[in-house]
Amino acid sequence: MTTRYPASVDVAIVGSGPTGAAYARILSEQAPDATIAMFEVGPTVSDPPGAHVKNIADPDERAHAQLLSEGPDAQDDGERVGGIVKTAARRARPGTYLLDAGYQVDGEDGLPVAAFSSNVGGMAAHWTGACPRPNDSERIGFLDAEGVLDELLSEGERLLGVTTGAFDASPHAPLVRGRLATAADEGREEHERVQRMPLAVHRRDDGQLVWSGSDVVLGEPTRANPNFTLHDESLVTRVLIEDGRAAGVQVTDLRSGESHEVHARFVVVAGDALRTPQLLWASGIRPAALGRYLNDQAQIVFAVRIRDFVPAAGSEGEARTGLSEYSGVTWVPFTDEMPFHGQVMQLDASPVALAEDDPAAPGSIVGLGLFCAKDLQESDRVEFSEDAVDGYGMPAMTLHYTLSAADHATIDRAKAEVVRLGTAIGEPLDDRPFMMPLGASLHYQGTTRMGETDDGDSVCGPDSQVWGVPGLFVAGNGVIPTSTACNPTLTSVALSVRGARSIASALASV
């Protein structure tokens, strides 16, 4: 870690989440002589930098790390646990903070709980680690046509440390999978059937399960790279452009308030799907599609209790991190016929508290979440102000977002389906499913979307380079151009791999 900025580097990366980390890792492996500087607006909250906060064993230390991640106005309001639970109230999950204004325009649905994290590792320090592959129309057709998408996804799985057997010791997970399979598998192809959720989770040498964060993506090749530096509490306010090409970044040291220019041959903006277009807009880089096609995944939740299964004595295991052996995550893949993605997990693995667990049968509360694919609309967008600013002094944003008739039909189908699947598992805790406030998925996409050609409907090309601005690349969930229901992190990391390879190739050719 260093707080002194270099005058120039080969590659400047804005954002330390999994996609920015993927650029640093691939460049460290394929262009080890390249100098790389990574800038993160938030502080370092875990050790190693970018590690998931759930791996912090002490609950008070974990809560403190979450608090530090909650933006420029972070404060402890005394409600440090839970999440958004059967209420329309605007309440953020620990480790995140809400957009304080502009989240809903009169007459529109808006994204009332649109949220961010500001910390080294980004949202990957707080996520649930689900890494399913996209299916059917979730896949990016022009990359499929090139025959490269699956290879990129495999490389993304390597970087994220994705496994499928982390929770094989869970006493309830096989029962849940079996009952779900009976209810859901008929008519599905093999790869679309109920299965273990691919998770960025691994087992430490001491036997404990831990979540992957950006630390895993960076890996030893990046940490051991003497040409790589990570600068926290560093706000990038502008991408520098010279002769029409990306030439570096302007960055403010939040500790001292001083502003610096760091010149670079390549710039990668790897923020979230709201702040990446914000930085481009603030830099005067405003292609027609910037901020448009914003999409979230409406989330329908339901909870059941398993009463007819008692785990064998001694199977509980002690959780010294934020995971226990009772956890289990099951996946019901998206299909075009059933346009939602199912994520089913025991209570202690869930980021949303749906009920109190049964102390007599730990792990017996099972939460079901169906994520719905959005009907993509150009009018769903994030706009930026010429005058007003946010807590970091960047252009304030306003979200325009409306559910279409097709979206409402999908949501109605998902409500019926989640009850059907939940009833197949156990005894419902409530009569009706609950739709989380829009924005709760934290899976915002589309605002810097990738396209095969520069047709005005995309911001970047197939290698993530911004149209018309050589040397400028975008990364993150905002790059995904399709309507997805599955968790997007694996796909966005895969797309980052392709972009990083493009930069590495360009560096090698000079």
Q: Which residues are catalytic?
A: 443
Structure tokens given for 422: 């939940």
Residues sharing a CB contact under 8 Å with residue 370, sequence separation 6 or more, in sequence order:
299, 300, 301, 332, 340, 341, 342, 343, 414, 417, 418
For residues 256-294, one letter each, b for 16 or more C-beta atoms within 10 angstroms of the residue's C-beta and e for the rest, the string is eeeebebebbbbbbbbbbbbbbbbbbbbebebebbbbbb
Dihedral sign computed on CA atoms, order 138, 434, 397, 81: negative
Q: Are 165 and 159 in contact (CB under 8 A)?
A: no
If DSSP codes are grouped into helix, strand and coil, which group holds residue 50? coil
Structure tokens given for 187: 């008519």
Q: Are 171 and 315 in contact (CB under 8 A)?
A: yes
Rounded Cα–Cα distance for residues 18 and 212 (Å): 10
Structure tokens given for 106: 């009169």
- Residue type for position 219: G
- Provide the strand spans (E) within 373-433: 381-389, 395-400, 427-428
List of long-range contacts for 75-80, beta carbons under 8 Å, 24+ apart: none
Rounded Cα–Cα distance for residues 483 and 407 (Å): 12
Q: Are 66 and 52 in contact (CB under 8 A)?
A: no
Residue whose entry in the numeric block shows the structure tokens 């500790």? 255
- Residue type for position 383: E
Rounded Cα–Cα distance for residues 185 and 192 (Å): 8
Q: Residue 27 has what DSSP assignment?
A: H
Residue whose entry in the numeric block shows the structure tokens 């797309």? 495
- Residue type for position 300: I
Structure tokens given for 208: 């404990």
- How does DSSP assign 242-296, residue by residue? ETTEEEEEEEEETTT--EEEEEEEEEEE---TTHHHHHHHHTT---TTTTBS-B-
Q: Is the peptide bond before 48 cis (omega within 30 degrees of 0)?
A: yes
Helical packing angle, 149-160 and 18-30, nearest 10°: 100
Structure tokens given for 277: 């277009």
Q: Find the radius of gyration of the CA atoms of the chain.
A: 22
Rounded Cα–Cα distance for residues 234 and 13 (Å): 12
